[in-house]
A and B are shown apart, each in its own frame.
Chain A
Amino acid sequence: MSGVTEGTAELRSDRGVAELRSAPRHDTGQDAAATQPETDADVAAEGAQLAEAIGRVVQGKPDVVRLALVVLLAEGHLLIEDVPGVGKTTLAKALARTIDGTVRRIQFTPDLLPSDVTGVAVYDQESRAFEFKPGAVFANVVVADEINRASPKTQSALLECMEERQVTVDGVTYELARPFMVVATQNPLEMEGTYPLPEAQRDRFTARVSMGYPDREAELAMLGGRATVDPLTALTPVLDAARVRTLVAAVGRLHVAEPLRQYVVSLVEATRRSPDLRLGASPRAGLQLLRAARATAALAGRDHVLPDDVQAMAVPVLAHRLLLTPDAALARRDAQRVVTDLLTTVPVHGGR
Chain B
Amino acid sequence: MSGQVDELPRATRGGPGTGIAVAVAVLLGALALDPVFAARTWLLPVTMVVAAVGLGGVALRALLDRLVDAAEDDGPWWSGPARLAVPLGQVALVLVVLTVVFTPDRAWAGVLPTLDSLTDLAGLLGDGTAEIREQATPALPLTGLVALTTVFVALIALAVDLLAVPARQPALGGLGLLVLYCVPVSTVTGEVALISFAAPAAGFAVLLWADQRARLVGSGRGGSGSPMGTGTLPALRTGLVALVAGLLLPAFVPTLAEGSLAAGWGGAGTGNGVGTSLDPVAEMAGQLSLPEPIDLLAVDASVADPGYLRSVSLDEYSGDVGWRMTNLDGQASIAADGPLAPLLDRQSSREVTARVTVLSHDDRFLPLFDSPLSVQVLGSEDEDWRFDPAARTVFGRDVTTGGLAYRFTSRQPQPSAAELAAAPQDPGDPMVERYTALPELDPSVVALSDQLTDPAQSPYERVRAVLGLFTDPANGFTYSLSTGPGTTGDDLADFLRLKRGYCEQYAGAMAVLVRAAGVPARVVLGYTPGQVGEDGDRVVTTDDAHAWVEVWFAGLGWIPFDPTPIAADRAVALPWAPRTDEADTSGPDPFTPGGAAPLPAPPAAELDRDDQYVPPLAAQSAPEEQLRPWLLGAAGTLVVLALAALPFLLRRRQRAARLADGQPGALWEELLATTVDLAVELPGRSTARQLAQQLAQRLATTDPAAVAAVQVLARAQERSVYGPPAARPSPDPALTAALATVRRALLRSSSRGERVRAALWPASTLATAARWAAARAPRRPRPA
> Does A226 sit within 8 A of B, measured CB to CB?
no
Which of B384-392, B651-659, B681-689 forms part of the interface with chain A? B681-689
Q: Which residues of A contact B665 (CB under 8 A)?
A: 350
User: Does the CB pair B782–A351 fall under 8 Å?
Assistant: no
Please name the residue on chain B nearest to A343 by beta carbon.
Answer: B685
Query: In chain A, residues 325-352, which have Cβ atoms closer than 8 Å to a Cβ of chain B?
Result: 341, 343-352
Chain B, interface size category, equals 20 to 34
User: Does the CB pair B722–A259 fall under 8 Å?
Assistant: yes
User: Does the CB pair A276–B717 fall under 8 Å?
Assistant: no
Please name the residue on chain B nearest to A257 by beta carbon.
Answer: B722
Query: In chain B, residues 684-712, which have Cβ atoms closer than 8 Å to a Cβ of chain A?
Result: 684-691
Q: Which residues of B contact A274 (CB under 8 A)?
A: 1
Whether A273 contacts B722 in the complex (CB less than 8 A), given A308-B687, A351-B688, comes out as no
| Separation of A284 and B741 alpha carbons in the complex (Å) | 45
> Does A56 sit within 8 A of B, measured CB to CB?
no
> Does B194 sit within 8 A of A, measured CB to CB?
no
| Separation of A255 and B722 alpha carbons in the complex (Å) | 8
Min CB gap A250→B, angstroms: 14
Q: Which residues of A contact B1 (CB under 8 A)?
A: 274-276, 341, 345
| Separation of A255 and B723 alpha carbons in the complex (Å) | 7
Min CB gap B719→A, angstroms: 7
Most chain A CB within 10 A, of B668, B672, B685, is at B685
Give 1 or 0 for each of B3-15: 1 = CB within 8 Å of chain A CB: 1100000000000
Whether A348 contacts B687 in the complex (CB less than 8 A), given A274-B1, A304-B723, A305-B722, comes out as yes
Q: Which residues of A contact B668 (CB under 8 A)?
A: 350
Q: Which residues of A contact B720 (CB under 8 A)?
A: 350
User: Does the CB pair B718–A306 fall under 8 Å?
Assistant: yes
Please name the residue on chain B nearest to A345 by beta carbon.
Answer: B3
Q: Which residues of B contact A341 (CB under 8 A)?
A: 1, 3-4
Q: Which residues of A contact B72 (CB under 8 A)?
A: 347
> Does B784 sit within 8 A of A, measured CB to CB?
yes
| Separation of A77 and B88 alpha carbons in the complex (Å) | 62
Q: Which residues of B contact A344 (CB under 8 A)?
A: 3, 683-685
| Separation of A274 and B724 alpha carbons in the complex (Å) | 33
Chain A, interface size category, equals 20 to 34
> Does A109 sit within 8 A of B, measured CB to CB?
no
Min CB gap B74→A, angstroms: 8
Q: Which residues of B contact A308 (CB under 8 A)?
A: 687, 689-690
> Which one of B2, B690, B719, B782 lies within 8 Å of A345 (CB-CB)?
B2
Give 1 or 0 for each of A287-322: 1 = CB within 8 Å of chain B CB: 000000000000000011111100100000000000
> Does B439 sit within 8 A of A, measured CB to CB?
no
> Does B721 sit within 8 A of A, measured CB to CB?
yes
Q: Which residues of A contact B672 (CB under 8 A)?
A: 352
| Separation of A311 and B503 alpha carbons in the complex (Å) | 83
Q: Which residues of B contact A346 (CB under 8 A)?
A: 685
User: Does the CB pair A260–B722 fall under 8 Å?
Assistant: yes
Min CB gap A289→B, angstroms: 15
User: Does the CB pair B687–A307 fall under 8 Å?
Assistant: yes
Q: Which residues of B contact A349 (CB under 8 A)?
A: 721
Q: Which residues of A contact B623 (CB under 8 A)?
A: none
Q: Which residues of B contact A345 (CB under 8 A)?
A: 1-3, 74, 684-685
Min CB gap A257→B, angstroms: 4
Whether A351 contacts B784 in the complex (CB less than 8 A), given A259-B722, A345-B1, A345-B2, comes out as no
> Does B783 sit within 8 A of A, measured CB to CB?
yes
> Does B727 sit within 8 A of A, measured CB to CB?
yes
**What is the interface of chain B mostly: helix, strand, loop, or mixed?**
helix
User: Does the CB pair A348–B686 fall under 8 Å?
Assistant: yes
User: Does the CB pair B721–A352 fall under 8 Å?
Assistant: no
Give 1 or 0 for each of B120-142: 1 = CB within 8 Å of chain A CB: 00000000000000000000000
Query: In chain B, residues 719-746, which have Cβ atoms closer than 8 Å to a Cβ of chain A?
Result: 719-724, 727
Min CB gap B554→A, angstroms: 95
Please name the residue on chain A nearest to B722 by beta carbon.
Answer: A257
| Separation of A344 and B721 alpha carbons in the complex (Å) | 20
| Separation of A63 and B727 alpha carbons in the complex (Å) | 30
Please name the residue on chain A nearest to B717 by beta carbon.
Answer: A350
User: Does the CB pair B3–A306 fall under 8 Å?
Assistant: no
| Separation of A260 and B685 alpha carbons in the complex (Å) | 15
Please name the residue on chain B nearest to A270 by beta carbon.
Answer: B1
User: Does the CB pair B722–A352 fall under 8 Å?
Assistant: no
User: Does the CB pair A303–B727 fall under 8 Å?
Assistant: yes
User: Does the CB pair B685–A347 fall under 8 Å?
Assistant: yes
Min CB gap A159→B, angstroms: 31
Q: Which residues of B contact A305 (CB under 8 A)?
A: 722
Q: Which residues of A contact B685 (CB under 8 A)?
A: 343-348, 351-352
Please name the residue on chain B nearest to A348 by beta carbon.
Answer: B687
Q: Which residues of B contact A348 (CB under 8 A)?
A: 685-687
Query: In chain B, residues 609-650, which have Cβ atoms closer than 8 Å to a Cβ of chain A?
Result: none
Most chain B CB within 10 A, of A273, A276, A305, A308, is at A308
| Separation of A348 and B687 alpha carbons in the complex (Å) | 6
| Separation of A306 and B685 alpha carbons in the complex (Å) | 15
Please name the residue on chain A nearest to B719 by beta carbon.
Answer: A304
> Which one of B682, B718, B727, B782 lies within 8 Å of A350 (CB-CB)?
B718
Query: In chain B, residues 667-681, which have Cβ atoms closer than 8 Å to a Cβ of chain A?
Result: 668, 672
Q: Which residues of B contact A350 (CB under 8 A)?
A: 665, 668, 687-688, 717-718, 720-722
Whether A351 contacts B690 in the complex (CB less than 8 A), given A344-B685, A345-B2, comes out as yes
Most chain B CB within 10 A, of A257, A343, A348, A351, is at A351
Min CB gap B325→A, angstroms: 80
| Separation of A311 and B685 alpha carbons in the complex (Å) | 12
> Which one of B718, B724, B783 lies within 8 Å of A275 (CB-CB)?
B783
Min CB gap B384→A, angstroms: 90
Min CB gap A16→B, angstroms: 42
Q: Which residues of B contact A303 (CB under 8 A)?
A: 723-724, 727
| Separation of A28 and B337 alpha carbons in the complex (Å) | 150
> Which one of B3, B690, B724, B782 lies within 8 Å of A304 (CB-CB)?
B724
User: Does the CB pair B3–A257 fall under 8 Å?
Assistant: no
Please name the residue on chain A nearest to B692 by beta carbon.
Answer: A351
| Separation of A244 and B766 alpha carbons in the complex (Å) | 53
Min CB gap A306→B, angstroms: 5
Min CB gap A252→B, angstroms: 14
Q: Which residues of B contact A273 (CB under 8 A)?
A: 782, 784
Query: In chain B, residues 57-97, which have Cβ atoms closer than 8 Å to a Cβ of chain A?
Result: 72, 74
Query: In chain A, residues 211-265, which have Cβ atoms closer than 8 Å to a Cβ of chain B?
Result: 255, 257, 259-260
| Separation of A343 and B685 alpha carbons in the complex (Å) | 8
Give 1 or 0 for each of B410-428: 1 = CB within 8 Å of chain A CB: 0000000000000000000
| Separation of A352 and B682 alpha carbons in the complex (Å) | 9
Please name the residue on chain A nearest to B676 by beta carbon.
Answer: A352
Min CB gap B260→A, angstroms: 64
| Separation of A343 and B3 alpha carbons in the complex (Å) | 11
With contacts A274-B1, A308-B689, A344-B685 known, what are 20 further pairs, Cβ within 8 A?
A: A255-B723, A273-B784, A275-B783, A303-B724, A304-B723, A306-B689, A306-B722, A307-B687, A307-B722, A308-B687, A311-B687, A341-B1, A344-B683, A345-B685, A348-B687, A351-B688, A351-B691, A352-B684, A352-B685, A352-B686
By a beta-carbon cutoff of 8 Å, the part of chain B in contact with chain A is 1-4, 72, 74, 665, 668, 672, 682-691, 717-724, 727, 782-784
15 A-B contact pairs sorted by A residue (CB < 8 Å): A255-B724, A257-B721, A257-B722, A276-B1, A304-B719, A304-B724, A345-B3, A345-B685, A347-B72, A348-B686, A348-B687, A350-B665, A351-B691, A352-B684, A352-B691
Enumerate the 7 nearest inter-chain pairs by beta-carbon distance, A residue then B residue, closest first.
A350-B721, A255-B724, A351-B687, A257-B722, A307-B687, A304-B723, A351-B688
